[in-house]
Each structure stands twice: as structure tokens, then as C-alpha cells.
Amino acid sequence: MAVSLAHITPIRGVNDEGKGKKHALSLLIHASDGDVLWLHDDDILLPPATDAEALRCMGDADLMILPLRMQVSSDNLLQRLQVIEYTALQTLTVRMARRGSAILCSGANLMVRREVWLQAEPHLHPDLPSGDDMFLLEYCKRTGKRIGVSDAPEMTATITAQASLRGLLRQRARWAGKAPRYTDSDIRRFGALVTLALVLQFICPPMVLIYLPWECSLIRGKGYAPLEVLLLAIIYPYYALIALVSGLLHPHRW
């Protein structure tokens, strides 16, 4: 019997009934008859792959982590720095997943078997406005599901950098706010190491010179200006710690 694929896109004010993204996801997935769900955000440019190509990419995986690239809407320093940061995160996502220790994924571009998502639904923390993707990843790791990853260009979705510093900090705070709920050992260990490194660099800024080679390895060959990479490394602890504290202290809605 042929495997079917369904596209799932939660849209604020259209299919969320005013109750947030997770409610919209639940409504759409329960109403779907697709065997494989391809999850998207409503503000991305969809990958060019056909459904048949997507199913071939999925293979026998239960969860497939798919690539994202960030574009700018205007050529300013704030957006260029976001692109560098996101490129590094995507490289890290692929590397760790291929090692069997996945620590990141994004519901903006993600495939999962419908039966697996339904099994995971009680564990997706409906009390939080976001994080369905990361809690889904945790569930799949905890229950021994098959996790795949792709960096194929045809499977790559495109997102746009935040236009303002306020929007960037709100987005990062929303991401950080769910961190205390993570239970996966790989995710918690990596998060602790990153937080420690940020604090140490905050206290002693010259430590950026110790971290910089590793950070550069994540974006090697991407053509970014060295001075911009250094600038991001210098300011990163300040904005990251602000976003972390804000996310932990204040709830953020979808």
C-alpha cells in the first residue's frame, strides 16, 4: 500500500481558533489522513522538492530533521549577523544528528510519521506556546524511534531574518523559555556547556579567542566576512543571556 504525505501548516488566526500553534497542529494532524506529515511554518518559502522526493528522503525514518536557510529582507548588519548565527546552528544540527545525538530540529521544516506524532502528543507540553518540535525530538529519542537528517538543497526551506532587534530578542526568548522542560541528556548537556561558555565570556570577554576557532568551523566555506563573524562572537553572550533570562521570566505567546 502506498504511503501518503500531508502538509501541515499552522496559521495564526486561521486554524488555531485563537488557542495557539500547538492547538492548530493538533486540529490539523487529527483531521489529516496522511501517513507522513510534513510540518511547515506559515512564514517560510517551501522547499522545491515534490511529495514523491520528500517521501524518498523520509525513507524508513520516524522523524526526519530537514534543513533551513535564512535570508535577509534588507542588507543590514543585524540581519547579516542572524544569517551567520543560523548557518552555524544548522551545521551543528546536521552534525549532531548524524552522530546519533540529535540536539536540534525545527517545526518550520520537519517530517514525522503521523502515528508517531499522535503517540508523542501527550508529551508536547500543551501548556507552553512553542517547543512542539524539540519535545517531539525528545520523545523520539527516548522511545527509540528512527531519526534521520537531510541537508539536501531540494529539501531546504527558507526563513527570513528578524527585521528588528526587538523582534529578534522576542523570538530568542520564546525559544529559551522552554529550555527548563528539556529532559534529553544530550540536549541538557549541550545547553549547559553553551550557557557556561556564555557566562565565562561575559565575565572575561577575551575568552572569545578560545571559542572562535570552533565557531568558525561551523560556517567554514560559507563566504562570510571574518570581521562580521568576530563581531557576532563578541556580542553573542550579551544578547543570548538577555534572551535566556527574558524567556525564563516572562511567558511568550505564539
pLDDT, tens only, 19-35: 888 999 999 999 999 99
Q: How far is CA 62 from CA 145, 149, 152, 157, 245, in A?
A: 6, 11, 18, 20, 34
Residue from 122, 178, 111 nearest 145 by CA: 111
Instruction: Using the predicted structure, report yes or no on whether residue 88 has a pLDDT greater than 80.
Output: yes
List strand residue ranges (DSSP E) for the chain, in order: 5-8, 36-40, 63-65, 68-71, 109-113, 147-149, 157-160
Q: Which pLDDT does position 87 carry in this prediction? A: 94
Q: Which pLDDT does position 223 carry in this prediction? A: 77
Q: Which residues of 158-191 are buried (b: 16+ CB within 10 A; e: fewer)?
A: ebebbeeeeebbbbbbbbbbbbeebebebbeebb
Q: Which pLDDT does position 124 carry in this prediction? A: 94
List the domains of the chain with CATH numbers: 5-249 (3.90.550)
Residue 127 CB neighbour total at 10 angstroms = 8
